[in-house]
Structure formats: structure tokens, C-alpha cells
Amino acid sequence: MKKEYKIKAQEFSNNDFVDNTNEWYYIEPSTTQFENIFPRMINLTPSKTTFNVCDAGFGLGTMMYNFYIESKKFEDKTFNFFGVEKYKEYVDFFNKNLKGYWDNNIDLYVDDIMNHNYGKYDIVYCYAPFKNENKLSKNCWWVKTKRNIDWICMVWNGVLFFYKKNT
């Protein structure tokens, strides 16, 4: 099913790698590069039974779908998935071609990741949305301090994971 999802996502083609605001427009993540990260994060709080997981800069949800599949290994836990994406063409393509793979377990918001309120999430995943290092570090600082939530920030190969400490 993961392979089928990825193949369907590849039907969306866009050659604009970096847009005029110096943001990465779309990057196809390598899911094998991040396999088993999601279960390791869930195991940080073994007594927690419900997790709200958000992908900031959802794109087509390729990486988040990998997390969704990995969440099925945890039969004693409930996962709610959310995405934030500001480019309407991605949201439209996702809603038309990919949403059906999620068994109605995804809520997608059309919003700029810098404007979104992350207070209800336990884990926020973000694939380095900015080419510019100053914007990237501002984004990391902004998510960590938004709504005075105490986040643990983990970084793997350009991917930022924010995990709420008080969960």
C-alpha cells in the first residue's frame, strides 16, 4: 500500500523546486531514510494512549503516510493525523487522488505553517521548509515557543520533529 501511495503521488509533477519566497516548493522524501523514527518517538511515552500528529508542510502527505502505516503496529494506541499545507494545488491533488488511502484519519488545513496553531498536537513533523538557514532556524524557534508549549526538537537529516514534553 505504501508503494501504491507513492506511485500515485508521483503523478503530481511540479518542476519548481524553490519558489520566489526561498521556500522548498516540494521535496519527495525518502521514506526509507526515516523508517522506524515514528515508533521510536511513540515509545518515548509508553503510557500515553492517544497521539495527535501533524505534518507541517504536508505536500502530498508521502512521509506522513509512512507514519500512518507505522502507527498500525500500536494496537493499544489511537493516532489522529493532521496536515498543514499552504499550496492549494497540493491540497486539491491530495483530496482527489490520495485521501482515500487514509481511512478518514487525516484532517488537512490550508494554512501557512508559520501561522498555524500547533497547540493541539503531540508530535509535529516538518521537512526543513526553508532553503535559507535564517528562516529555518526562525521556524524551529517559532514552533518550539508557539503557545508556550515545551517542545523537544529532534533533527534528522534536515527533518525537524517536535515532541511535546508534557504529554
Task: Count up the domains in the chain and report the number.
Answer: 1
- Spatial distance between the Cα atoms of 1 and 153, rounded to a whole number of angstroms: 30
- Chain length of the chain: 167
Residue 97 clears pLDDT 60, i.e. is over it: yes
CB 86 within 8 A of CB 113: yes
Residue 142 clears pLDDT 50, i.e. is over it: no
Mean pLDDT to the nearest integer, 121-142: 62
**pTM of the prediction?**
0.75
User: Can you read off the three cell numbers belonging to residue 86?
Assistant: 499552504
- We report the CATH number of the domain holding residue 76 as 3.40.50.150
Residue 71 clears pLDDT 90, i.e. is over it: yes
Sorting pLDDT into bands at 50, 70 and 90, what band is 82?
Answer: very high
Least confident residue range of 48-57, 83-92, 96-105, 143-152: 143-152
Domain range for 49: 2-164
Q: What is the pLDDT of residue 117?
A: 84
Higher-confidence residue of 5 and 133: namely 5
**114-120 CB contacts, 8 Å cutoff, 24+ apart:** 114/139, 114/142, 116/56, 116/84, 117/146, 117/147, 118/54, 118/56, 118/143, 118/146, 118/147, 118/149, 118/162, 119/146, 119/147, 119/149, 120/52
Q: What is the pLDDT of residue 103?
A: 94
Largest CA distance in the chain: 45
Sorting pLDDT into bands at 50, 70 and 90, what band is 69?
Answer: very high
Residue 147 clears pLDDT 50, i.e. is over it: no
- Helix, strand or coil, per DSSP, at residue 55: strand
Q: What is the pLDDT of residue 28?
A: 57
